[in-house]
Amino acid sequence: AGQYVGIGLRIDGRWHWRSYSLTSVPRRDNKNITITVKATPEGFLSTHLVEGVKPGTIVRLAAPKGDFALPEPPPEKILFITAGSGITPVMAMLRTFQSRGQKADIVHIHSAPSEGDVIFGDELRDLEKSQPGYRLHLQLTETTGHLEFGKLADIAEDWKDRPAWVCGPSAL
């Protein structure tokens, strides 16, 4: 959980590659994976993936890569700070915690422009209700502005005692 895979798709006779975070729980008994793709105006491959790939289309898959992963066993306290699509690798981590019945004291700060822009918004709110120890803070930038580092202690008083995983656009 937390790694990414390369996805290759042939469009107009040319292979195009892009990396996407895995959002599924890694399991040896399940050969299926999930990625979450958001089409953007400048995203050539993402637009093709979101608009639909016809059945029978060959999609190439590279091996999972990346060091953005939790250690085993995971720490007792965790701080996740995510923004926009940076939620995707953390979502795989949260789903893995849930599927394994693992418990941790998790503070998750996620930044998005508005409620409607929160990827996995319903699932995150359900996790907060159902998983003891998981606390979600949504930083909605259109109404409350961007996360200010100096105010981190207002959200997670003990943030300095928590290993942190941070993922999002460079502005974060």
How far apart are the C-alpha atoms of 81 and 108, rounded to whole Å?
Answer: 6
CB 23 within 8 A of CB 91: yes
Q: Quick one: what percent of the chain has pLDDT higher than 90?
A: 65
- DSSP codes, 82-94: EEGGGHHHHHHHH
Please give the residue that has the higher pLDDT: either 47 or 142.
Answer: 142
CB 35 within 8 A of CB 87: no
Q: How confident is the model at residue 163 (pLDDT cuts 50, 70, 90)?
A: very high
Average pLDDT over residues 8-30: 88
pLDDT, one tens digit per residue, over 90-144 is 999 999 988 888 888 999 999 999 999 999 999 999 999 999 899 999 999 999 9
Q: How confident is the model at residue 47 (pLDDT cuts 50, 70, 90)?
A: confident
Q: List the beta strands (DSSP E) in the chain.
A: 4-11, 14-21, 59-61, 77-83, 105-112, 134-140, 164-167
How many alpha carbons lie under 13 Å from residue 95 in its C-beta half-sphere? 18
Pairing assessment for the beta strands 14-21 and 4-11 based on DSSP bridges: antiparallel
Q: Please check the confidence at residue 48 and state whether its pLDDT lies above 80.
A: yes
pLDDT, one tens digit per residue, over 59-73 is 999 999 999 998 888
Q: Which of 41, 44, 34, 60 minimizes the C-alpha distance to 120?
A: 34
Q: CA separation (Å) from 101 to 13, 33, 104, 164?
A: 46, 20, 10, 21
